[in-house]
Structure 1
Amino acid sequence: MASAVAAAATPDGAGGWWVVVQVACLGAAVVGLRRHRPAPAVAYWLLVAGVAASALTTAVRTAVPRPAPAVEVGYLLCYPLTGVALWLLARRLRPWSSTRLLDAAIALIGLAQLAWAFVLYPLASRAGLGEATTAGIIALAVCDLLVVTLLLRVAFAVRPGVAAGLLLSSTAALVLTDAGHVIMYVWGRGHAVASPVTSAGWLTWSLLLAAACLHPGIRDVGERPRTGDESATPVAGFIALAVLGPAVLVAAIGIRHGAAAVAHAAVPAALTAALMVTMVLRLGRALRERTSLQRELAFRAQHDVLTGLANREEFRLRLQAGIDALGGAAGPGIGLLIMDLDGFKDVNDTLGHPAGDALLLQAGERLRAAAGSGDLVARLGGDEFAVVSPRLDSLDELADRCVADLARPYRVDGREVHLTASAGVYRGVPASTGEALQNADLALYAAKEAGRNRAERYDPRLRAAHVAHAVLADQLRAAVDGGSGFAVHYQPVVDVHTGRVAAVEALLRFTAPDGAAVSPVRFVPVAEETGLICRLGAWVLERACTDARAWHASHGISVTVNVSGRQLRDPRFADDVLATLKRTGLPGAALVLEITETVLVTATVEETEAVSRRLARLRAHGVRIAIDDFGTGYSSLAYLRTLPIDVLKIDRAFVSRVADRQEKALFRAVVELARSMYLQPVAEGVETGEQAAALRELDCGFAQGFLFARPMPADALRAHLATQLTVAA
């Protein structure tokens, strides 16, 4: 404080009141900090400590008539405490960097020019000042410069607000009051003028700090601004500081003459030179940052941020350039590979996205190593990669090499991860990048359909199949929305000993708008892919239950309805089935829900448990559950033991060879397995009398197939059942 050089600055009579006010401010500041807990906490407690040091020193000077000069050092402690606090706050708002250090140096040099002109040089020219007083003023001036520099640094970075304004104004009051008092003292104005003005300024410092700490907005002062220029220092500030040095230099020469002018101008000249050098360094730094930013932006515009490979836009441009170079001419054309990782989603779901990113980095490196020098490797997004290669004669070999390399184990988070890859290969002269990508995608889809972990080459027949697939999907959507085109046929399930119809299986049929019947083998998978299968399944269930109510009442037969995996995974599935039974009046015992082995084998443990709970609930209402296509190669014996199953439908692959002696033994084992688990076996696909005879011999009680009846509409089934009654009569 300035009192360190002018011990009598505050009248002794007012010292007590000054201490009381500062202590009150200290108490208020402590209450505010404990209530709001702003960060960084150390910075705010250091600011409060500065006020405490001032109050303690004033209290000692008031209580002790003639304190030792060393006591005055307590005032000077305010500055290192305040300076460190501002440093911590500035670092939290925006971390220090070489650019920001240069900004601070520029401000410091500019302020040093003012300090030299108005404080230090007049001090050096004034006679009668003791060494201690001179040293104190110099120390105070240096402290002022450092604190003002840090204050400006914080002011440029802090969010605007009441608390921020109070906090900055508090430190500004301290600096301006001390600077004004020192200037008055050095220029010989005495203490009479300085004492009341400066005393009010120092108390203002304490009051403003307390107000800032009490304000709720103090919590946000240390938060980084959401927006704003990170370089921070305004251009106008640089211009003002650049002009300041020459202005002080010219003023010094104009006011003083001779040797005094030269002596006075030497320091401003040196400071001006230092300022210019610092500003040149700052400008050079800014130019380097701009060049680096431009280089980074150019790289990001063309490359994937994660892997460093070409991104989708760069891939598109390079592919288009290759197509343009062909000019539509016939020839070998361009080579394109599209590939992705099979099962990559499971890595993200089980190990997390950071692990997935690490795996993608390894995959990118493998593709880069597999490709040739003239090949472009790109990441199109997610786990999808592409390679554009001019080496058409070795394109297939490149695809096989990429698939093999991507299938090698990955080391992620200390564990080994196994994945495969599928690739689509296209070579030709496409009309556009879109056509090239679509053709390669069709080949990729074919690779996945063929079992994955392989590369497939594009064939024009793939496009025809794709178009037919898309047309069929549109027809199915229109039929579902319009309520036409679908029908339910019923195939009887008979007692192999009596030939009597014991049940019927509801089978969905679809007729295209041109009148052609579409096989379920074609339209059911499309309905699954498009998500229409749930609506279709609900419609079939409603129709089958409605039709079967009369058949069950008159003939005692039940109806079997196929259920898709999507339906089973729906949490509302059991509720929907029970509601359908209630609407149609069909007893639960007259309904059999048929599911396939694949639905169970491909489900997760959690999904299987959820499905089991839904089926058990339906079973409690009398609904029976059947497993369809049993024995098609899936390991489902565990499901037969743990799931609520009633009926086992044996796949036609077993039935077609049941007359063979060796196959008959295997079929007998399946039937005995079903009976041992209290399941009712039903043979599917019976087409010959020999097969039916074998079933009777093996005591497989029920069967269905073309030998007994083909699927038929509801009216035809009613007539068939009526004929059965007539024969029985």
Structure 2
Amino acid sequence: MTSLPRASPVAPSAVGHRWYLGIGAIVLAAGSLVSPQVRPWVYMAVTASVMIAIAVGVRKYRPAWPAPWWLIVAGVGSTLLANLGWAMALTPAGVPRFPSVGDLFYAAALVLLALSVYWWVRPGQRRGAVEAAIMTLGGGAFSWALVIEPLLFDGRFSGLRLGSYLLYAGIDLVILVLTVRVVVVSRVRTPAYRLMAASACLLIITNTVNFAALLSGTNLDTLTALGWLGAYVLIGGAALHPSMARSTGNVAVNPSPAPRRRMLIYVSLILAISGLTVTSLVADLGPRSPRTVVLELLGCAMSVLLIFRLSQLATLLNRRALLDVLTGLGNRALLQERLDNAAPPDEVLLLVDLDGFRDLNDSFGHKAGDAVLLEAARRLRTVVPGHATVVRISGDEFAILAATGDGVDGPAVAQRILDALHHPYQLPGMSARHLAASIGVVPMPASAPRTHALRDADLALRSARHQGGKQYAVYDAAVHAERLANTQLVADMHHALDAGEFSVHYQPVVELATGDIVAAEALLRWTRPDGTSIPPMQFIPLAEQSGAIVAIGGWVMAQVCADLSTLHHEHGLSVTVNVSAHQLRDPKFAQSVLDLLRQNDVPGSALIVEITETVLITSVVDAATSTEQLQTLRDNGVRIAIDDFGTGYSSLAYLRQLPVDILKMDGSFTAEQIEQGAAKDLAFIRTILELSRILGLQTIAEAVETATQADRLNGLGCDLAQGYHFARPAPVATLLDALRQRGPLPVIAVGSVVRS
């Protein structure tokens, strides 16, 4: 059976609290219009309804911290008893006798309400004391000027009545102070909380108006009664709102500095006290009265507290500026502060990176990622030395700075961290996840400079990653020197392209059966102005990593197409050119190549584009770009060759899916296996050659350096080869001379396109 979904409890509850507030406002307005004999009973009915509303709210929403609500029930109940006591103690003229049991219950009600405000936040929270003290002084100044001083010195009240009025004024001030504390400390800003704060403010204002009317002899009983009962109605509305369950007992986890409006209140209080002091001095026009002295003392005390609070805020801001908000660890600024220590001991710096964190964060969201970071931070604090500085640099990267000696050893600490971080992470709502870490370790003797400590740690961390991760690596100055040299080489590469230091050399591809040149491979060479040659294996990988290969590869392609205008038109030769993954990711790459061929009046059949197996895999992954570029070229007569075939990630699936025409067998097969001639080694070569024939592909053997290698390849059925045995790479002029000396070339095809 399918049941209907349950309605959300929020909507009817919100409606209920609005109905209560609306009806309460109507009843209060009507109560002010009825006869004085009926009015007390209306007010007592409203008071009773507040108690019922709180009981219903506590029973329905079950707050985790109900103590303040029950104290409010007791306080409101005491006011109800106070009203009954005053009603029974009326004189024939309709004025309550004093003292009476009503006064006792009213005093008890104020005390209970003050206790409820105090218990709104669970005990033990010390924050907010300074703000509360400042507000106490400010409120005390107004209370002194407007209530207490007139009560004490105008001679109208004395004895028990004066004492009761002073008690009421003091409790009002306590309620104000405790309310300020709740505002500062509590982290909730729910509708119920806001209604309760409004109720406390209305109660304090009403009591102040009541004292002002009492001192001036004005009858404002109806207005003050409405104020008190209005405060109670707000309490009832708060109790009936669903948010009442989470409005009590909570505190701020990370207290923030005072907002601007709170500082404005503090300044306003200082100015107000100053204004009251000036007014008192003008009114006295003589020796200082107690009123003036008290106001001056309050002003001085508030100034001291404000200075102290500003000092607290400065300390808090400084501390927060050095802390990571999520984990509570230090941050990069704290680490730098420690590294800049004027007299550091022998220390070790460890940079920790969580392997696989980014994938977890992307797959399961930031909530799961934050949970992992919090747990990792806890484990780090557990396993590092107690005196160590532990910080979160950024993302999933942490750093530990610890003094060495006393048995503290950087590699040993790194191993403990690896072991601790490798344990499974229990994440909410999912199965346990395993993560590992990579760590860079930098020993730092006291005499060594710390300027590049983080850079060195990052270099060591990269070494650990390059070695497969899940391990630590200690900083090696030689690695840094190599990195600097590589960085300079990349910068020089860009200059070399503009300065014309690059050139294209060509290595012939020959037919093994005849020795005739049937194609050539274009190879990049770099020669500095002083004649120094930079090996291709040194600068080409850097060009790939830095992205400079795009510009360099474009120049090579333009040069080859220009040379083909002679090589192909005069000798029917085709040229193979290696293309990087960066070039293939450009959606305009194929068209740019076709434009170069067209500008030089060279057909597509004159060009063979080589890709390595790594690029081949990239092409499969990025089918919308790389594969499309290769297919566009092939549709226009350009052939596709796989370079270094057999050494990397070869797959029959790649050969089936991608537009491939030629396999260039890696030189390791020819240089080692062919030379030794072992049956097992030769079997691999036969397999590659047979695979090419089955798929209708042509095979070119690379790095053929001896006559023995050439003969055995020819015997195995390999048609084409290149290597130092035939010719070294040379400028295009050398290749043209070789072609002219041999005379007309026979019509021999490589994949049907090398010769036309």
* TM-score category of the 2 structures, normalised to the smaller one: 0.5 to 0.7
Aligned pairs for 1:115-126 within 5 A: none
Cα distance, 1:687 vs structure 2: 0.8
Cα distance, 1:537 vs structure 2: 1.8
Cα distance, 1:693 vs structure 2: 0.9
Cα distance, 1:231 vs structure 2: 13
Query: For the Cα contact (< 8 Å) 1:492–1:709, is it kept in 2?
Result: yes
Taking a change above 3 Å as real, the CA distance of residues 420 and 121 of structure 1, as seen in their structure-2 partners, is closer
Taking a change above 3 Å as real, the CA distance of residues 682 and 533 of structure 1, as seen in their structure-2 partners, is same
Answering whether residue 167 of structure 2 is matched by residue 270 of structure 1, we say yes
Say which SS state the counterpart of residue 537 (structure 1) adopts: helix
Higher share of residues assigned helix: 1
Query: For the Cα contact (< 8 Å) 2:510–2:518, is it kept in 1?
Result: yes
Taking a change above 3 Å as real, the CA distance of residues 376 and 265 of structure 1, as seen in their structure-2 partners, is closer
Task: Please tell me the root mean square deviation across aligned C-alpha atoms, in Å.
Answer: 5.0
Query: Aligned to 1:446, which of 434, 456, 463?
Result: 463
Residue of structure 2 equivalent to 1:356: 369
Report the Cα distance in structure 2 between the residues aligned to 1:570 and 1:404, rounded to whole angstroms: 43
Query: Aligned to 2:349, which of 333, 336, 340?
Result: 336
Residue of structure 2 equivalent to 1:432: 449
Query: For the Cα contact (< 8 Å) 1:493–1:702, is it kept in 2?
Result: yes
Residue of structure 1 equivalent to 2:721: 703
CA deviations over 1:404-437 (Å, ceiling 9, x no partner): 5444554444252444424344344564322333
Aligned pairs for 1:79-94 within 5 A: none
Report the Cα distance in structure 1 between the residues aligned to 2:24 and 2:606, rounded to whole angstroms: 88
Say which SS state the counterpart of residue 307 (structure 1) adopts: coil
Query: For the Cα contact (< 8 Å) 2:439–2:460, is it kept in 1?
Result: no
Taking a change above 3 Å as real, the CA distance of residues 681 and 420 of structure 1, as seen in their structure-2 partners, is farther
Report the Cα distance in structure 1 between the residues aligned to 2:619 and 2:611, rounded to whole angstroms: 16
Cα distance, 1:685 vs structure 2: 0.9
Report the Cα distance in structure 2 between the residues aligned to 1:711 and 1:451, rounded to whole angstroms: 36
Cα distance, 1:673 vs structure 2: 1.4
Report the Cα distance in structure 2 between the residues aligned to 1:583 and 1:276, rounded to whole angstroms: 92
Query: For the Cα contact (< 8 Å) 1:399–1:425, is it kept in 2?
Result: no
The code of the aligned residue for 1:680 comes to Q
Query: For the Cα contact (< 8 Å) 1:627–1:649, is it kept in 2?
Result: yes
Aligned pairs for 1:457-536 within 5 A: 457-480=474-497, 482-512=498-528, 514-536=530-552
Query: Aligned to 1:397, which of 404, 409, 412?
Result: 412
Residue of structure 2 equivalent to 1:319: 339
Query: For the Cα contact (< 8 Å) 2:571–2:745, is it kept in 1?
Result: no
Report the Cα distance in structure 2 between the residues aligned to 1:553 and 1:45, rounded to whole angstroms: 95
Report the Cα distance in structure 2 between the residues aligned to 1:650 and 1:411, rounded to whole angstroms: 49
Answering whether residue 678 of structure 2 is matched by residue 661 of structure 1, we say yes
Residue of structure 2 equivalent to 1:639: 654
Taking a change above 3 Å as real, the CA distance of residues 54 and 379 of structure 1, as seen in their structure-2 partners, is closer
CA deviations over 1:586-633 (Å, ceiling 9, x no partner): 3233322222112344x4975256433332333223332222111224
Query: For the Cα contact (< 8 Å) 1:628–1:649, is it kept in 2?
Result: yes
Structure 1 length-normalised TM: 0.64
**Structure 2, gaps ≥5 residues long:** 1-13, 58-64, 97-102, 104-109, 111-130, 186-254, 256-308, 748-756
Say which SS state the counterpart of residue 416 (structure 1) adopts: coil
**Structure 1, gaps ≥5 residues long:** 1-39, 89-96, 132-137, 139-144, 146-228, 327-332
Residue of structure 2 equivalent to 1:368: 381
The code of the aligned residue for 1:477 comes to H
Query: For the Cα contact (< 8 Å) 2:348–2:441, is it kept in 1?
Result: no
Larger mean CA deviation between 692-701 and 381-390 belongs to: 381-390
Taking a change above 3 Å as real, the CA distance of residues 549 and 42 of structure 1, as seen in their structure-2 partners, is farther
Report the Cα distance in structure 2 between the residues aligned to 1:472 and 1:712, rounded to whole angstroms: 24
Larger mean CA deviation between 491-500 and 122-131 belongs to: 122-131
Report the Cα distance in structure 1 between the residues aligned to 2:529 and 2:183, rounded to whole angstroms: 69
Cα distance, 1:73 vs structure 2: 6.4
Taking a change above 3 Å as real, the CA distance of residues 387 and 56 of structure 1, as seen in their structure-2 partners, is closer
The code of the aligned residue for 2:383 comes to A
Answering whether residue 706 of structure 2 is matched by residue 688 of structure 1, we say yes
Aligned pairs for 1:80-479 within 5 A: 239-241=141-143, 243-246=145-148, 249-250=151-152, 254=155, 265-279=162-176, 281=178, 297=317, 299-321=319-341, 324-325=343-344, 333-391=346-404, 394-412=409-427, 413-428=430-445, 431-479=448-496
Report the Cα distance in structure 1 between the residues aligned to 2:696 and 2:424, rounded to whole angstroms: 45
Say which SS state the counterpart of residue 504 (structure 1) adopts: strand
Say which SS state the counterpart of residue 703 (structure 2) adopts: coil
Cα distance, 1:359 vs structure 2: 2.7
Instruction: Quote the sequence identity (%).
Output: 37
Query: Aligned to 2:731, which of 698, 702, 713?
Result: 713
Residue of structure 2 equivalent to 1:162: none
Report the Cα distance in structure 2 between the residues aligned to 1:552 and 1:446, rounded to whole angstroms: 47
Query: For the Cα contact (< 8 Å) 2:614–2:648, is it kept in 1?
Result: no
Report the Cα distance in structure 2 between the residues aligned to 1:587 and 1:594, rounded to whole angstroms: 17
Report the Cα distance in structure 1 between the residues aligned to 2:134 and 2:582, rounded to whole angstroms: 57
Cα distance, 1:497 vs structure 2: 1.8
Query: For the Cα contact (< 8 Å) 1:426–1:439, is it kept in 2?
Result: no
Cα distance, 1:300 vs structure 2: 3.2
The code of the aligned residue for 2:496 comes to A
The code of the aligned residue for 1:614 comes to Q
Say which SS state the counterpart of residue 434 (structure 1) adopts: coil
Query: Aligned to 1:596, which of 612, 634, 637?
Result: 612
Taking a change above 3 Å as real, the CA distance of residues 388 and 47 of structure 1, as seen in their structure-2 partners, is closer
Cα distance, 1:505 vs structure 2: 1.9
Taking a change above 3 Å as real, the CA distance of residues 341 and 508 of structure 1, as seen in their structure-2 partners, is farther
Query: For the Cα contact (< 8 Å) 1:320–1:432, is it kept in 2?
Result: no
Query: For the Cα contact (< 8 Å) 1:51–1:78, is it kept in 2?
Result: no
Cα distance, 1:474 vs structure 2: 1.7
Report the Cα distance in structure 2 between the residues aligned to 1:384 and 1:636, rounded to whole angstroms: 37
Larger mean CA deviation between 309-318 and 231-240 belongs to: 231-240
Report the Cα distance in structure 2 between the residues aligned to 1:57 and 1:324, rounded to whole angstroms: 77
The code of the aligned residue for 2:151 comes to L
Report the Cα distance in structure 1 between the residues aligned to 2:379 and 2:603, rounded to whole angstroms: 61
Report the Cα distance in structure 2 between the residues aligned to 1:264 and 1:459, rounded to whole angstroms: 86
Cα distance, 1:686 vs structure 2: 0.9
Taking a change above 3 Å as real, the CA distance of residues 521 and 254 of structure 1, as seen in their structure-2 partners, is same
Taking a change above 3 Å as real, the CA distance of residues 457 and 509 of structure 1, as seen in their structure-2 partners, is same
Query: For the Cα contact (< 8 Å) 2:642–2:663, is it kept in 1?
Result: yes
Query: For the Cα contact (< 8 Å) 1:495–1:501, is it kept in 2?
Result: yes
Cα distance, 1:502 vs structure 2: 2.5
Query: For the Cα contact (< 8 Å) 1:597–1:636, is it kept in 2?
Result: no
Residue of structure 1 equivalent to 2:554: 538
The code of the aligned residue for 2:365 comes to G
